[in-house]
Structure 1
Amino acid sequence: MMGATTGGVGGTDTASASNTTTTTVVPDAISASSSSSVSEQSGSHDGTTTTKQQQQAANTTGSQVVLDGQRRQVPSRNQVLRRLSEALMRQTLTMIDMSQRGLQASDARLLKLALLQNAQLSVLKLGYNNLGDYGMSILSEAVQNHKALRTLDVGFNQIGDRGCQAIAAALTGTSSSLQTLYLAGNSIGESGALALAAMIKGGQSRHLKRLHLTANRIGDRGVQAIAEAVIFSGQSMEGRKECNSPSVLSGSAGSLTSSEGKEAENDEEDCNYGMRELFIGGSGMSMEGCQAVSDMIASNTSLRVLSLSDNNIGDAEAAVLSKALSANKDEFALEALQLSFNKLTCVGVESL
């Protein structure tokens, strides 16, 4: 029986850069999560409004937050953009982490330049910002021509179908090396999922190993399209035995984070084909979608982690999944099936 685990929201790493081996660019000041209480150090004489001058000052010097009972400085928008501008001049960065920095669609061109100027960049984390469809479209133009990028995190950015279609198009027809794509917590629907599925089937995205779509209402048709694409990627892989070798696995079960799981060992890159980790929790699927997932389980031999959290899965759906697991038990490499926040009883759990 496979159990379900739960995980929390991961924090944003902060590192300073040296003059010669810079790997990460993040603002110096600590950021607070959206649940932290923010205490602005400005206001009018009556304490209810903020003057235009004080707002301008906050944009320049930042603001204060209360975190763990202590006041801490949050970087201002100008400070964030200044640090991002510095990335354009370094040209040797391998990682940029600008999560939770208040980035907007208008900042996407600067992000695009940062990608183009840093040819060695392998990790770009932009989770919990507000890039939207327009920002994602601009950023996709740089992703399309970037050969070193392995991880792209744009979770929780108010990205809809158009933005999803833009990144899917950017990864179609190119020799992309992207292995991990975080799209969790956006507003992607059926048409966005169909675009991703077509991209996976296209073949050029054969390096894509981890797809995070948690908390996107892609529905039954979206789930079906993704499941069929994953089947295709597994059947097309070369060196099946090598692809089924043990690897390091990690993931949070259904937690709404833009950084679920962690990267597998470097030797996994030697495997050309086959999705390894698929997160489709909170997708709004019904029994029809569950049946499509079951068909994927019965046919796929590459998938290691599958998250179906928060999908209203009950005992009937669990029975369908169990049948597929049994049918493919000799070849299926699945090591983690995440089913938290569903409607399972002891009967359904025992069947798995």
Structure 2
Amino acid sequence: MLPGSIQITGESLAGAEIKDICDSLRENSVRLLSVRGCQLSDRDFGRVCRGVADSHSLAQLNLNLGVVSNIGRVKQIAEALKTNRSIQTLFLHGSPLTDTGLAVLNPVLSIHPSLVSLDLGDCMLGDEGVQLICGMLPPDGAKSGLKELTLSANPAVTCKGWARLAIAVAHSSQLRVLNLDYNPLGDQIAGMLAVAVASSRTLEVLDLEGTGLTNQSAQIFLDMVENYPTCLRMLILAENNISTDLQQQISDLLSEGEEEEDKDGEAHGNSTGREKTTWRSQSNSSSQMVLMTSGLGDSLLAETEM
């Protein structure tokens, strides 16, 4: 029997429910475990973490919306990840980690053999936390790193922290999706990110929704996609003070680039088209590459609840 999923939202969990979750983890009968916004005792959280440690089938763990509510729980999930080898996607969105909590998690996150997608949105991170995250984006030729990273709504990060991230993104050998929505970035940081995108050989999706950008940033991105080769396929600029005309121009250029690569992929019989479809399916299904409306559809990997 193929592993299934357990998805619970906003419930108080105890007794039989915790037992069922732990049994399923130990029996390797669950691939996705989501307990978003659920309330459970520290003791029961520890039981679930031990189940996570024992599981060989669990690929996605969603603890969003305050489930990891204190440093004790951060330490428990860190212990579980030391043993677990199967988790590919970890959601901690809306957890009060702070830089202190991320420092506890960082050693195990950095060496986890399967982790490729990490959501640390709205986790009260600052510059020290971002510096730790940069270590999960190793440069070309180094070990595998994250393919998808969400840092939405971490307003305490300063220009210095975002500059460090931009440098790491520019040299990352793996990163394909970067979600920075609802951070007060502004045009200066957006310019740094444009340079990082131009340098990256893998980044396909950049979410800058609600980040305080203006036409100045949009013009830089337009110049980039118009004059330089880039892997970028989707640029999300909703809820910024950017003209519709500029967004449409960027969209048209990204669409043209994708069509050309699709044709090249078909002509050479490679898997480029399939790979891009995989990543785009996690985002809004609109054919327009610059999303001008708010929200990212049903994408789990771009979850931005606050």
**Cα separation, partners in 2 of 1:205 and 1:146, compared to 1, 3 Å:** farther
Give the corresponding residue for 1:37: none
TM-score normalized by structure 1?
A: 0.63
Give the corresponding residue for 2:209: 309
Give the corresponding residue for 1:153: 91
| Cα distance in 2 for residues equivalent to 1:303 and 1:288 | 20
Give the corresponding residue for 1:226: 165
How much does 1:283 deviate?
2.0
Per-residue deviation, residues 115-146 of structure 1 (Å, max 9, x unmatched): 11112221112122331351223212222332
Q: Structure 1 residue 94 and structure 2 residue 75: aligned? A: no
Residues 206 and 233 of structure 1 are in contact (CA less than 8 Å); yes or no, is this contact kept in structure 2?
no
| Cα distance in 1 for residues equivalent to 2:42 and 2:15 | 15
Residues 54 and 83 of structure 2 are in contact (CA less than 8 Å); yes or no, is this contact kept in structure 1?
no
1:1-352, aligned counterparts within 5 Å? 21-26=2-7, 31=9, 76-87=13-24, 89-103=26-40, 107-134=44-71, 135-172=73-110, 174=111, 176-201=113-138, 206-217=144-155, 218-234=157-173, 274-328=174-228, 330=229, 332-346=230-244, 348-349=246-247, 352=250
Q: Secondary structure at the match of 2:118?
A: strand
How much does 1:25 deviate?
3.1
Larger radius of gyration: 1
How much does 1:225 deviate?
1.8
How much does 1:92 deviate?
4.1
| Cα distance in 1 for residues equivalent to 2:109 and 2:13 | 33
Q: Which amino acid counterpart does residue 334 of structure 1 have in structure 2?
A: L
Identity of aligned residues (%): 18
**Cα separation, partners in 2 of 1:94 and 1:349, compared to 1, 3 Å:** closer
TM-score normalized by structure 2?
A: 0.71
Per-residue deviation, residues 151-192 of structure 1 (Å, max 9, x unmatched): 1111122222222233322123x2521111112232122211
Residues 201 and 233 of structure 1 are in contact (CA less than 8 Å); yes or no, is this contact kept in structure 2?
yes
What is the aligned residue count?
247
**Cα separation, partners in 2 of 1:219 and 1:230, compared to 1, 3 Å:** same
Residues 3 and 57 of structure 2 are in contact (CA less than 8 Å); yes or no, is this contact kept in structure 1?
no
Residues 280 and 308 of structure 1 are in contact (CA less than 8 Å); yes or no, is this contact kept in structure 2?
yes
How much does 1:79 deviate?
4.9
* Higher share in helix: 2
Return 5+ residue gaps in structure 1 as ranges. Answer: 1-19, 33-73, 235-273
Per-residue deviation, residues 178-221 of structure 1 (Å, max 9, x unmatched): 11111223212221111101232377762421111111222322
| Cα distance in 2 for residues equivalent to 1:177 and 1:283 | 28
Residues 98 and 124 of structure 2 are in contact (CA less than 8 Å); yes or no, is this contact kept in structure 1?
yes
| Cα distance in 2 for residues equivalent to 1:142 and 1:89 | 13
Q: Comparing 218-227 with 298-307, which one deviates more in the overlay?
A: 218-227
| Cα distance in 1 for residues equivalent to 2:50 and 2:223 | 50
Residues 137 and 145 of structure 2 are in contact (CA less than 8 Å); yes or no, is this contact kept in structure 1?
no
How much does 1:336 deviate?
0.6
| Cα distance in 1 for residues equivalent to 2:113 and 2:98 | 22
| Cα distance in 1 for residues equivalent to 2:124 and 2:15 | 28
Which of 1 and 2 has higher RCO (CA within 8 Å, sep 6+)?
Answer: 1
How much does 1:80 deviate?
4.2
Q: Comparing 114-123 with 94-103, which one deviates more in the overlay?
A: 94-103
**Cα separation, partners in 2 of 1:145 and 1:327, compared to 1, 3 Å:** farther
How much does 1:75 deviate?
5.0
Q: Secondary structure at the match of 1:310?
A: coil
How much does 1:350 deviate?
5.4
| Cα distance in 2 for residues equivalent to 1:346 and 1:94 | 42
Return 5+ residue gaps in structure 2 as ranges. Answer: 251-306
